[in-house]
Amino acid sequence: MRDPDFGVTGVSEQDVIHANKNDLAKIFRITTSQIQGVSMGEDVPVNRQYTLLMADSQEERKKWVIALNELKTLLKRSRLADRSAFSVKEVFDVASLPSIRLAQCATVIDRTKVVVGFADVGLYCVELDRETLVAVGGEKENKGRFVEKVEYNAAEQLLLVMVGPPKERHVRLIPSAALDGRDLKWIKVAETKGCHLMAMGAGSVAGTANASASGNVHYIAVAIRKSVIVYQIDRTERRHKKWKELAMPGLPQSLAIEGGRLVVGFTHSFRAWALGDQTLVNMEDQSLQFLSQSNYEAQLMIEVAGESKATEPSSREYLLVFDKLGLYVDAQGRRSRSQELMFPSSPRPGGFAHLSPHLCVYSENQIDVFNVMSAEWIQTINLRSAIPLTADGLLSLCLVNDAPFVVMLCDVLSDEDILYVPQTLSNTSAASIGKRNKGKRKFSVRVPGKDDARPGDRRSNLPISGPSDFMHIVHMGPGSAHELQSMIDLQPQGHGQSAGERVRGLIPIMRSTSSSSGNPVKQLGGSKQDIEQLHRGRPLSTTSKSSEGSSLGRDGNTTTSSTSCENPYLEPISKQQANISALPQSPSSPLSRTNQP
């Protein structure tokens, strides 16, 4: 009811065309907003969600309509503080990116790049500022791949992906150098066939106590049946080595590496491994024994950090999130609070995300937001059929008027969004008000290495200062340096001559040089070394695509004459960005075709 667009009304035949006419008087409609901060007008109600309810009788329907409207009025009069944590912004929809129907997962690289995993077409980097899609590692490496999960480690500049159908599912590593579309093979992690969970995060070198120190070691954890294999990320070409294999007391249902600890969730229990394993549910606590009497599927373990974060491990507090409730325990696995998180709607499978300091619970018609610190239910976001694409829920896939949208949860207290969304892509754009699809940009798929002959070479767009004291005589191309030398070597013909006389004096010489069949160097005067030096030092011609001595490649990026010998599997992202080329459209790409369900 805190929703500004909340309203309760009756319905007409046009609103419920499939309903029985006898039931029409029993049905009423609840209206709420979907994408916050959007005013699309009455003709295009894309930002509203409608819920139809049917009472037992017409009188019962009237009571509900009156009661709900009066409650809304009382809520406005009470002027309660708005504790909303997030607003919702569109990132792209099915019109700008048709293949989001196949989206399975995503991870954020920076403010302008999002990597999205698709079913059957692989992994693509979405460049929001350029409106382009780039196949990560090249189109050949992505052909036919089913990417189920993806994570990004900025410190190690690695992508971790889970690919393949369920029976052939395995894990691969991708260096961030592949984000520009160059052909790089994905590194297969050995012994991961048949896995169902994966995680990547920072740990600590064995024998050290602090996992948050700089220079710490990063790990990969993969759950296969009733075991978890831990790999250590290194600087070899394979980028990993097997470190430890742990036997689990049950089938792992959730997996994470947080604070230097491997956290595994099982049915009615969580366990953490650091220097030694540690159970986070102590069955000696009588108030927790109900967990063993029913199936509670483990979803998340969240370490609760207070205003002054505790440094002693014994004083830590954890929120254990199961599919039916969430509860707080201490480091010994005993209940630390009497409060429990009870979910107002049945969560969807995998519909849990922790966007600190909030827990987002996804159900069929809404996202419920809880404050982890205070254990309060603070907001309901009306998004239908929403699922989290990223592990933290920053990006979600939902349905708006039965069309798929990718939306972003934006902190209402933050001055800047985590992702940069151009105004022409945003619903808040003035051009899109009342004209949903007009002015919307469309993403195009591009591949590297095919733009050499493009007429729109970036060099032609370079700013060049205008001429001064200039009179055009004849066009001179890149090979006309000897003619330029002849003009420079000419002696001045006196200060009293007019510009026209000087031009008439130059024209015969230029004609004779162009028609001469002898050695032009001897005819025009000046040494050959001087002419060659002048040729090397001449300005870059905007009409030449192969100019010698140019500091710009054909894509407009800075290049050097020597070929880099660095291994792309170990290349830092700062150097990769300097080598990213402009990418031409590829109409044959599977993502460039509209996929109809």
**Residue 92 · residue 406 · CB < 8 Å:** yes
3-class DSSP assignment, residue 502: helix
Tell me, what's the pLDDT at 289? 80
SS3 for 292-314, per residue? Answer: HHCCCCEEEEEEECCCCCCCCHH
SS3 for 326-388, per residue? Answer: EEEEECCCCEEEEEEEECCCCCCCCCEEEECCEEEEECCCCEEEEECCCCEEEEEECCEEEEE
Residue 73 lies in a domain: yes
- What is the Cα–Cα distance from 294 to 309, expressed in whole angstroms? 34
- Where does residue 250 fall: left (phi above 0), alpha (psi -120 to 50 degrees), or beta otherwise? beta
* Interval 323-363: pLDDT, tens: 999 999 988 888 999 889 999 999 999 899 999 899 999 99
Which residues are bridge partners to 89 per DSSP? 408
* Amino acid (one-letter) located at 399: L
Q: Which of 530, 544, 531 is nearest to 477 (CA)?
A: 544
- Looking at per-residue confidence, does 305 or 329 come out higher? 329
- The tokens of 301 are what? 């373990």
The mean per-residue pLDDT over the stretch 122-139 comes to 89
pLDDT above 90 covers a percentage of the chain that reads: 26
- What is the Cα–Cα distance from 519 to 99, expressed in whole angstroms? 63
- What is the Cα–Cα distance from 94 to 544, expressed in whole angstroms? 41
* Amino acid (one-letter) located at 449: G
* Amino acid (one-letter) located at 27: I
| Residue 422 predicted with pLDDT over 90 | no
Give 236's pLDDT tier (boundaries 50, 70, 90): confident
Residue 353 lies in a domain: no
* Interval 77-118: pLDDT, tens: 888 888 888 888 888 888 888 888 899 999 999 999 999 999
CA 350 to chain CA centroid, nearest Å = 19
| Residue 309 predicted with pLDDT over 70 | no
* Interval 428-449: pLDDT, tens: 433 343 444 445 667 777 777 6
| Residue 411 predicted with pLDDT over 50 | yes
- What is the Cα–Cα distance from 558 to 47, expressed in whole angstroms? 45
**Residue 481 · residue 170 · CB < 8 Å:** no
Tell me, what's the pLDDT at 571? 52
3-class DSSP assignment, residue 30: strand
Q: Which of 194, 250, 259, 258 is nearest to 222 (CA)?
A: 194
Tell me, what's the pLDDT at 379? 92
Q: Which of 580, 556, 573 is nearest to 447 (CA)?
A: 580
Which residues are bridge partners to 558 per DSSP? 552
Tell me, what's the pLDDT at 582? 42
Residue 171 lies in a domain: no
Strand intervals (E) in 392-521: 395-400, 403-411, 444-446
Contacts of 24 (CB under 8 A, 6+ apart): 11, 13, 16
Cis peptide before 492 (omega within 30 of 0): no
Residue 561 lies in a domain: no
Tell me, what's the pLDDT at 597? 43
Distances (CA, A) of 472 to 467, 476, 503: 10, 10, 10
Tell me, what's the pLDDT at 569? 63
Sheet holding 317-322, edge to edge: 298-304, 317-322, 325-330, 335-342
Please, is 158 exposed, middle or buried when counting C-beta atoms within 10 Å of its C-beta (0-12, 13-18, 19+)? buried
Which residues are bridge partners to 279 per DSSP? 271
- What is the Cα–Cα distance from 401 to 465, expressed in whole angstroms? 52
Give 37's pLDDT tier (boundaries 50, 70, 90): very low
The mean per-residue pLDDT over the stretch 260-282 comes to 79
| Residue 514 predicted with pLDDT over 90 | no
Residue 50 lies in a domain: yes
Residue 39 lies in a domain: yes
Give 267's pLDDT tier (boundaries 50, 70, 90): confident
The mean per-residue pLDDT over the stretch 573-592 comes to 50
Residue 32 lies in a domain: yes
Tell me, what's the pLDDT at 544? 39
3-class DSSP assignment, residue 95: coil
| Residue 386 predicted with pLDDT over 70 | yes
Supply the pTM of this predicted model.
0.65
**Regarding beta strands 352-355 and 403-411, do their DSSP bridges make them parallel or antiparallel, or are they unpaired?**
unpaired
pLDDT above 70 covers a percentage of the chain that reads: 65
- What is the Cα–Cα distance from 373 to 319, expressed in whole angstroms? 9
Rounded to the nearest 5 degrees, what angle is found at the Cα of 104, between the Cα atoms of 45 and 107? Answer: 95
Host domain of residue 61: 7-78
* Interval 212-226: pLDDT, tens: 444 578 899 999 999
Residue 48 lies in a domain: yes
Strand intervals (E) in 195-285: 197-202, 218-224, 227-233, 240-247, 254-258, 261-266, 269-273, 277-279
- Where does residue 402 fall: left (phi above 0), alpha (psi -120 to 50 degrees), or beta otherwise? left
Angle between helices 499-515 and 481-489 (to 10 degrees): 140
DSSP one-letter code for 279: E
* Interval 138-190: pLDDT, tens: 888 888 899 999 999 999 999 999 998 878 899 999 999 999 888 899 999 98
Looking at the 3D structure of the chain, how many domains does it have?
1
